[in-house]
Structure 1
Amino acid sequence: MTWKPRNLRELGRMIVGDAEHFHYRSSKYITEFFEDCDLEFVHQGETRPAWAAERVEEVLAMPKASATTMPDAFVRIIRRLLDRGEVVNDDAERSLALAALNITLAREGWEAFYDDHGTAQIKHIATNTVAQMANPHRPFTPSEMERRDQLVAYLGRCSEDELIEDILLPLFRQLGFHRITAAGHKDKALEYGKDVWMKYTLPTLHVLYFGIQAKKGKLDSSGVST
């Protein structure tokens, strides 16, 4: 998706706060803005609005499902830009910021609005299609493709102990499990035991205990890896 340079420049000025009704951001806070949008862009002293416009152009080039949708990252930028928790002067409802942004978006056939929950959304004007996020079937971004390839390569060469320590334990911690203990395979007597023990606390404060055995490779009918 290619936008006119004028519109990219205007959006860049809004992001860095060089446009009226938008919060001013210095270098550090420009980086934090993009971090809030799950983007790994780091501002290092370049001309602020021009740099932001270039990053928006990169985001617009990311994969998307169709011509009437937007990349998820762009939707996050719009939501962050119109965050009602970031009041500027007397624009408590961010209506002035919304109107200013829509002047720019309309030239490209889009319109931003607040839904019933006060969350900023963006829709394609011609089709009235609201850009949706978190589509599990969306195309991978280049960085996601790279991380996937790195994971596949690692899984192909790691040992079972490395699989447990480097992949499974961090995964279970992220999912909210506690007291995660890995037995490992140094003691062969444990080879057919449980490799990982852990517990999970329910909202009712009941505790569930889990034990898993990790195997790397194909399993035969007896449960032995080959």
Structure 2
Amino acid sequence: MKFKRRNLEALADLIVGNAGRDDAENVDEAKYFPYRSSMYITEFFQELETEYQHDGSTRHRWVADVLEQMLAEPHDGPNRPPEIFCRLIDQLMSPADRLNEGSDRPRALAQLNEVLGREGFEAFYGEDNHCYLRHVGTQTVTILAANPHRPFSKAELERRQLLTAYLDQCSEDDLIEEVLLPLFRQLGYHRITAAGHKDKALEYGKDIWMRYTLPTQHILYFGIQAKKGKLDASGVTKTGNANMAEIYNQALMMLGPTPGK
């Protein structure tokens, strides 16, 4: 998807806060988007979970270049901009960033739609106070959630390659400590412990144990046996693949009573 350069730069002016004046007496000339210096431009894009960092060049032109890259990412058709661009619009129009007007930001929305309208789109607030995009011709409304079936973006492919390279060279202990434990903490599990991580005699069939509290306040306990490498149903191969019989025995040990308790 492509926008005209002048529209990209006009949208970039809103993002960096070039539009309007702080000392304007006329409401039509006032500033309705916060001014963002180089540091805050970088922070704005970091909050979108991107890796763009302002390089010190002319602010609105640099942002226009980034917008052009975002619009070039995979998307679901000419009426639906890429998901990252939709999230950028939502973040730009956050009620928390209102300036010189109420939280519904009518004048900021009008300025934004003056730009988007030239490309056949309009922004609007939903009942959840998030800002969405609508294609004027088809009335197609974009969604903020990423489509799990879309192609990976260039940045996502690069992160995937980095993760693959790390997993190829990391040890089993590194996998547990650096990947699995932070992952389960992020997912809301509690009391996450690498049981036997240091002393395998304390493992009792599990590398990790943790618990999860349901909305009913019931607690579920989980044990994980982590293996780095392939599993097969035969004996341990010359390449060191752990066999299924070993996993089965460790699962039985995990489910059984802990020695000494």
TM superposition score normalised by structure 1? 0.88
Q: For residues 160-207 of structure 1, what are the alpha-carbon distances to aligned partners after superposition, in whole Å with 9 as ceiling and x for unaligned?
A: 222222221111111122222223577565677111122223344443
- Of 69-78 and 87-96, the range deviating more from structure 2: 87-96
Q: Distance in 2 between matches of 1:178 and 1:90?
A: 43
1:37 counterpart = 2:48: yes
How many pairs were matched up? 225
Quick one: which of 180, 190, 194 aligns to 2:206? 194
| 1:52 counterpart SS class | helix
Quick one: which of 80, 100, 104 aligns to 1:89? 100
| 1:97 counterpart SS class | helix
Shift of residue 67, structure 1, vs aligned partner: 1.8
| 2:95 counterpart SS class | coil
1:169 counterpart = 2:181: yes
Shift of residue 79, structure 1, vs aligned partner: 0.9
Q: What is the percent sequence identity of the aligned residues?
A: 56
Would the alpha carbon gap of residues 90 and 167 (structure 1) be closer, same or farther in structure 2, given more than 3 Å must change? closer
TM superposition score normalised by structure 2? 0.77
1:3 counterpart = 2:14: no
Shift of residue 112, structure 1, vs aligned partner: 0.9
Contact 2:9 2:64 in 1 (8 A): yes
Quick one: which of 229, 254, 258 aligns to 1:217? 229
1:181 counterpart = 2:193: yes
Shift of residue 150, structure 1, vs aligned partner: 2.2
Would the alpha carbon gap of residues 130 and 207 (structure 1) be closer, same or farther in structure 2, given more than 3 Å must change? same
- Of 127-136 and 39-48, the range deviating more from structure 2: 39-48
The answer to which structure, 1 or 2, has the higher relative contact order (CA under 8 A, 6+ apart) is: 1
The aligned runs of 1:58-207 (5 Å cut-off) are 58-133=69-144, 134-184=146-196, 193-207=205-219
| 2:96 counterpart SS class | coil
Q: Distance in 2 between matches of 1:189 and 1:135?
A: 45
Shift of residue 131, structure 1, vs aligned partner: 1.6
Q: Where does structure 2 lack aligned partners over 5 or more consecutive residues?
A: 21-31, 234-243, 248-261
Q: Distance in 1 between matches of 2:222 and 2:104?
A: 48
Shift of residue 13, structure 1, vs aligned partner: 0.5
Q: Where does structure 1 lack aligned partners over 5 or more consecutive residues?
A: none
Q: Distance in 1 between matches of 2:52 and 2:198?
A: 43
| 1:130 counterpart SS class | coil
Q: Distance in 2 between matches of 1:45 and 1:107?
A: 29
Q: Distance in 2 between matches of 1:28 and 1:153?
A: 31
